[in-house]
Amino acid sequence: MLRISVTLLLLITCFSVSAEKIEGIIITKAQDTLKVTFEIPLELLSKEPDYERLQRKVKYYDENGEKQTLKPEEAKEIHFTYRKEAICMRTRYNTLAFIGGNINLGAGDYIFLKLVEDGTVQLFLYYYTQNSPGVVNPSTGIMTGGMLYDTDRYILQKGDAGELKQLRALQFKKDMTAFFSDCPELVRKIEEKEYKREDLRAMVQFYNTQCGK
């Protein structure tokens, strides 16, 4: 059983470090544009970019073919295209202490966040690994089950220097009416349930086109 577990772990590790070379650009802090070839890590099953890892750093090959590592604090943003999706990840100073329950973001660090909606209000996705607790078998007292799974959460920001805002599931309406308080029509739509939690992108689009000009 131990041998199987070790073998499985090795296989998962092997697959999880697979990567694809993709051409893209780095926007430096001085607003220069560098054309590079990124080494984008891919998820084991979905073969989608491993955004959780990319949030911390990204590896790339420079114009001389030398492999480099770029950390968020060293750039303004990165761009690349994967499966016809144009992806932008922007550097943000993390003003959040916790996310996803007990997952520590490491407040005070810089991270790359995947941009979903751009404008006066920016909408990002933060990716993290969540721990699902096991269940105690009442007859044996032994805990079984429990697993790690990948998930994500929306993050809002007003302007480039505003604090990052994560949404509380049980306080969504209160949080959103406060966040968009300078846009009365949007607040009305939220209060009258024209917009619900699943309409967050539409809320941001409404604000940016109607109130955030």
Residues 42-71 pLDDT 10s: 998 889 999 999 999 999 999 899 999 999
| 191 and 87 belong to one structural domain | no
Are residues 90 and 24 part of one domain? yes
Same domain, yes or no: 51 and 78: yes
Of 166, 182, 205, which residue sits at a domain end? 166
Largest distance between two CA atoms of the chain:
64
Residue 44: per-residue pLDDT: 84
Distance CA 70, CA 55 (A): 11
Report which listed range, 11-20, 98-107, 164-173, is most confident: 164-173
Q: What confidence score (pLDDT) does residue 119 get?
A: 96
H helix or E strand, kind and range, residue 114: strand 110-117
Q: Give domain status of residue 3, yes or no.
A: no
More confident residue, 54 or 9: 54
| Among candidate residues 127, 144, 166, the one where a domain is terminated | 166
Give 211's DSSP letter: I
Q: How many domains does the chain have?
A: 2
- Position 207 pLDDT exceeds 50: yes
pLDDT at 38: 98
Residues 99 and 54 in one domain: yes
Residue 68's pLDDT is: 97
73 in any annotated domain: yes
Q: Mean pLDDT score of the chain, rounded to an integer? A: 83
Phi, psi dihedrals of residue 54, rounded to the nearest 5°: -65, -25
Domain boundary among 127, 143, 166: 166
Whether residue 160 sits in one domain with residue 121: yes
pLDDT on residue 171:
87
The answer to the question of residue 10 being in a domain is no
Q: What is the pLDDT of residues 112-142, one digit of tens each?
A: 999 999 999 999 999 987 665 555 556 655 5
Considering only CA atoms, which of 133, 103, 100, 112 is closest in space to residue 69? Answer: 112
C-alpha–C-alpha distance, residues 106 and 123, integer Å:
20
Residue 11 falls within a domain, yes or no? no
The stretches of the chain forming alpha helices (DSSP H) are: 2-16, 51-54, 172-179, 184-191, 200-206
What residue numbers bound the domain in which 119 lies?
17-166
94 domain-assigned? yes
Tokens of 84: 């016809």
181 shares a domain with 161: no
- Whether residues 181 and 92 share a domain: the answer is no
Q: Are 41 and 106 found together in one domain?
A: yes
Asked if 153 and 113 count as a contact pair (C-beta separation under 8 A), the reply is no
Percentage of the chain lying above the pLDDT 70 cut:
76
For the chain, state the CA radius of gyration.
20
> Who's near 159: CB < 8 A, 6+ residues apart?
120
Same-domain check for residues 106 and 181: no
Asked if 82 and 139 sit in the same domain, the reply is: yes
> Distance between CA 63 and CA 35 in Å, rounded?
8
Q: Are both 103 and 199 inside the same structural domain?
A: no
Does position 200 have pLDDT exceeding 60, yes or no? yes
**pLDDT (0 to 100) of residue 15:** 45
Task: Assign 1 a pLDDT band (cuts: 50, 70, 90).
Answer: very low
Q: Is residue 160 part of a domain?
A: yes
Ranges of H-type helices in 88-149: none
Mean pLDDT of 173-179: 94
- pLDDT score for 95: 78
- 40 with 97, same domain: the answer is yes
How many whole angstroms separate alpha carbon 33 and alpha carbon 27?
5
- The residue ranking higher by pLDDT, 151 or 6, is 151
Q: Is the pLDDT of residue 164 over 50?
A: yes
